[in-house]
Amino acid sequence: MIYWLVMLLCLLILMLVWIADYVFLRGQKLPRFAGWKLDALLFAVSWGILFALNNHEFVVYNNYSYLTDSLLHGRLDTPTLPGYLESIELGGKTYMHFAPGVSLLLLPIAAVTGAQAIHYAYIGITLGAANAVLFRRVLQNLRIGRNIREQLWCTVFAIFGTVHCFCAAVAHSWFIGHVASWTLLYLSMLLATQRYRRRAAENAGLFFAGLSFGLCVCCRLSNLLGAGFFVAHILLYRKKNDWIRLGLLYAVGAAVFGGFYMALNYVRFGTIMDESYNLTHLKDLFKPLYYYMQENVDGAPAQMDFLHAVERTDWDAAFPTEAERRAFLAFLQRNLAEPWNYAAGIPYTPAEELTAAQVDESFRTVVTGSFPKVGGALSLSNAPNNLRSIFLLMPKFQAEDPYVIPTLAGVSLTFCSPLLYACVVPLWTRRNRPFTWVLLGSAVVCAVPFVLNYGNGFAQFGMRYAMDFLPYLLLLSCMGLTHRRWTSVRSALVLLCVLVNVWGPLYWRFFYLNG
């Protein structure tokens, strides 16, 4: 009953907002630019809305805090990470498998309060409110929207009419990384697209834009694919004589945190590439191989070699000797009753009693029958399911209360944020402007990891992985929404998107988190 009263209250508030806009702002010639007072008001209102949507219970899904605490104590592994939180093991050490950016952001707070005292909800709410300010400022710099009214409505759509609303309001570990990446990405955009009067200010601006982008990539590695946006903006909107200088300054700034990320990976995995999600993929989908590796393969380098071999399904490289194949069969036999051991074709005869020929035959039967293809976290075979998730996945309808429920696999962008399809408008109206295609290309390229990933984000509302490409798609959509004079119909459509996306955290608050 309370759930429906809250939803009704939200509907009434949105209706009042629409009426106020229709009565007081429709047709008004508002100034194009606004200063810090509007920013402060926008931040305060956004913070209050996200605060109201949160359940205010301490977030126990705080994976990043354990890495933050380890960094404060001069180590990279997370030995105190509890079992209910996701982790990976390599070389006898436990690691927090998410990208480290949020842990770095939390360092100053943790140094004062302690890492375990940090309440993620309020971090997510604050970053989400900051995103409202940054997004409107980026619109202003890119000259999207003719006046404050249009820019504010576009900001309302971006912050509260997309999955960002859910991620910022709930702010568990799986979501706060996306919100933080938006904050850092839009800050980088703001600094990179700013018009500077002095060369020294421009140099500093581009360096700090790169610094922010580098930390953004440390929050979500797929953001690295959006670097073309900044390269294109320098080439299109800066003087030719300044290209090399500004590009280098941006690259140097990005290399600060980028270098840390690569060094972190090298210490953990022996390569500058982040292998966390490949290990997580093995742990999630091929547990018999993952647990065998932990028990029987010694040392991080050998385990990484084993991982790469099984990804290629190169069984001769993964198990080069008869003794290792016998050990694998014996491991499966010992763990036959474990729920994670789904391997088929395991011989009944104890592995130590099998002849060499029987070991080879049984081993081939097991690996070809149970693990015909392992691969890595990204595969073209995952594209159909993820494209369906992005475009077609609808909520579930049932006869009893609450009647409409989001699936735990999420809900499509088509259902949650249909106004995103306004992105097709500038592809015609601004087709002669190169920056239009820069935005489209950035969105498409940044969507590739999501489309190829072995999971679509799992327990969530909306499509949280879409947060990786939405920053560029939203700018394109806002171009489409503002290509003609803003009307109250568009305001109503924005508020409809807001209602759907407010429903997400409210449903989680009343049902999922209490279930």
The DSSP annotation for 174-209 comes to HHHHHHHHHHHHHHHHHHHH---SSHHHHHHHHHHH
What whole-number distance in Å separates Cα of residue 159 and Cα of residue 501?
A: 10
What whole-number distance in Å separates Cα of residue 204 and Cα of residue 393?
A: 45
65 falls within a domain: no
Whether 148 and 235 map to the same domain: the answer is yes
β-bridge partners, 405: 396
Q: Which of 303, 336, 370 is the last residue of a domain?
A: 370
> 229 lies in which domain range?
2-59+119-270+385-512
Whether 301 and 172 map to the same domain: the answer is no
Whether the CA torsion 367, 371, 375, 380 is positive or negative: it is positive
Whether 292 and 239 map to the same domain: the answer is no
Please report the DSSP string for 392-414 in residue order.
T---EE-SSTT-EE-BTTB--HH
What whole-number distance in Å separates Cα of residue 172 and Cα of residue 55?
A: 12
Question: Do the beta carbons of residue 492 and residue 18 sit within 8 Å?
Answer: yes
For residue range 328-374, what is the model confidence (pLDDT) as tens digits?
Answer: 999 999 999 999 999 999 999 999 999 999 999 999 999 999 999 99
What whole-number distance in Å separates Cα of residue 292 and Cα of residue 117?
A: 36
For residue range 80-132, what is the model confidence (pLDDT) as tens digits?
Answer: 999 899 999 999 999 999 999 999 999 999 999 999 999 999 999 999 999 99
Q: Which of 307, 339, 370 is the last residue of a domain?
A: 370
DSSP code of 453? B
Burial class from Cβ neighbours inside 10 Å (0-12, 13-18, 19+) for residue 376 reads: middle
What whole-number distance in Å separates Cα of residue 135 and Cα of residue 75?
A: 36
311 falls within a domain: yes
Tokens describing residue 151: 């820019």
pLDDT score for 369: 92
Question: Do the beta carbons of residue 371 and residue 286 sit within 8 Å?
Answer: yes
444: Cβ contacts below 8 Å, ≥ 6 apart: 469
Please provide residue 172's backbone torsions phi and psi, each rounded to the nearest 5 degrees. Answer: -70, 170
172 falls within a domain: yes
DSSP code of 23? I
Q: Is 312 helix (H, G, I), strand (E, B) or coil?
A: coil
Positions of the chain with pLDDT lower than 50, given as ranges: 515
Helix (H) or strand (E) holding 313: none
Whether 454 and 394 map to the same domain: the answer is yes
Whether 313 and 398 map to the same domain: the answer is no
Whether 300 and 257 map to the same domain: the answer is no
Whether 229 and 182 map to the same domain: the answer is yes
Q: What is the CA radius of gyration of the chain?
A: 25
Angle, to 10 degrees, between the axis of helix 101-113 and the axis of helix 243-269? 80
User: What's the number of domains the chain is made of?
Assistant: 2
Question: Do the beta carbons of residue 468 and residue 445 sit within 8 Å?
Answer: no
pLDDT score for 512: 80
Whether 365 and 405 map to the same domain: the answer is no
Whether 496 and 449 map to the same domain: the answer is yes
114 falls within a domain: no
128 falls within a domain: yes
What whole-number distance in Å separates Cα of residue 413 and Cα of residue 393?
A: 8
CA distances from residue 84 to 80, 194, 295, 351, 464 in whole angstroms, order as listed: 12, 44, 21, 34, 21
314 falls within a domain: yes
318 falls within a domain: yes
Whether 423 and 480 map to the same domain: the answer is yes
pLDDT score for 52: 95
Residue spans of alpha helices (H) in 392-487: 413-416, 426-429, 434-452, 470-481
Whether 396 and 263 map to the same domain: the answer is yes
Whether 358 and 390 map to the same domain: the answer is no
76 falls within a domain: no
